[in-house]
Chain A
Amino acid sequence: KNQVEQSPQSLIILEGKNCTLQCNYTVSPFSNLRWYKQDTGRGPVSLTIMTFSENTKSNGRYTATLDADTKQSSLHITASQLSDSASYICVVSANFGNEKLTFGTGTRLTIIP
């Protein structure tokens, strides 16, 4: 069964610190991996999309890495800001010929001043 597991479930860090969120998946055959940011009361917003051949992608202070061999991805946030407080969702796509996205349950990140 295709699964996406994220860790930690929740994380609290001080403003200005860095943090790394983890995503492990068992989805196969792999097509792409996405990271989304979901603010409270809002829909998810795309941060990065990576295919099999990409092992790193950045979007401002957000950097995602992908190791397709170990089926692991991480999202690194640099110099965190209060506005980074949100849930971060990892989504993996399996290529069955139609859409098959498997969503993780997310990591709830809280930045405190």
Chain B
Amino acid sequence: EAQVTQNPRYLITVTGKKLTVTCSQNMNHEYMSWYRQDPGLGLRQIYYSMNVEVTDKGDVPEGYKVSRKEKRNFPLILESPSPNQTSLYFCASSLSNPGYSNQPQHFGDGTRLSIL
């Protein structure tokens, strides 16, 4: 089954404790992206990757890091989490850049992070 898998689905942690949210897709997609979703705001892009070893900042990259060492994996790293990073996070993948292609984005089911 084609899917995007995120782990963990839920995490409560404390300020400053490094954490990683994993994202894996099994569709051989080149393009992957991370978003955060907050109440009253649309999904906002954190980082994206056009292909292996190619990553770039989205609209809200501060406080986050990513890596793309393999095509299928695109982990999101919070080196020193802070309470304003409490949010619902989504990983997405698509065959190519959805900005100028008609390829649908496939989303994971989300990771709810609470930073105390």
B43 part of interface (Cβ distance < 8 Å): yes
| B42 and A93 contacting across the interface, CB-CB below 8 Å | no
Question: How many A-B pairs with Cβ below 8 Å?
Answer: 66
| B40 and A98 contacting across the interface, CB-CB below 8 Å | no
| A43 and B110 contacting across the interface, CB-CB below 8 Å | yes
B44 part of interface (Cβ distance < 8 Å): yes
Known: A32-B102, A95-B99. A43 touches B108 (CB 8 A): yes
Q: Closest chain A residue to B90 by CB distance? A: A43
With beta carbons under 8 angstroms apart, the residue of A42, A45, A46, A91 that contacts B110 is: A42
With beta carbons under 8 angstroms apart, the residue of A44, A93, A104, A106 that contacts B98 is: A93
B24 part of interface (Cβ distance < 8 Å): no
- The complex places the Cα of A98 from the Cα of B58 at a distance, in Å, of 11
Q: Closest chain A residue to B44 by CB distance? A: A103
- The complex places the Cα of A97 from the Cα of B50 at a distance, in Å, of 12
Interface residues of A in 1-49 (CB under 8 A from B): 4, 31-32, 34, 41-46, 49
Per the CB 8 Å criterion, the residue count for chain A at the interface is 28
**0/1 string, A80-102, CB within 8 A of B gives 1:** 00000000010101111111111
B101 to chain A, nearest CB (A): 8
- The complex places the Cα of A54 from the Cα of B106 at a distance, in Å, of 22
| A105 and B45 contacting across the interface, CB-CB below 8 Å | no
Q: Closest chain A residue to B97 by CB distance? A: A99
Q: Closest chain B residue to A97 by CB distance? A: B100
| A105 and B40 contacting across the interface, CB-CB below 8 Å | yes
> Which chain B residues have a beta carbon within 8 Å of chain A's beta carbons?
4, 31, 33, 40-45, 48, 56, 90, 92, 97-100, 102, 104-110
> Which chain A residues have a beta carbon within 8 Å of chain B's beta carbons?
4, 31-32, 34, 41-46, 49, 51, 89, 91, 93-106
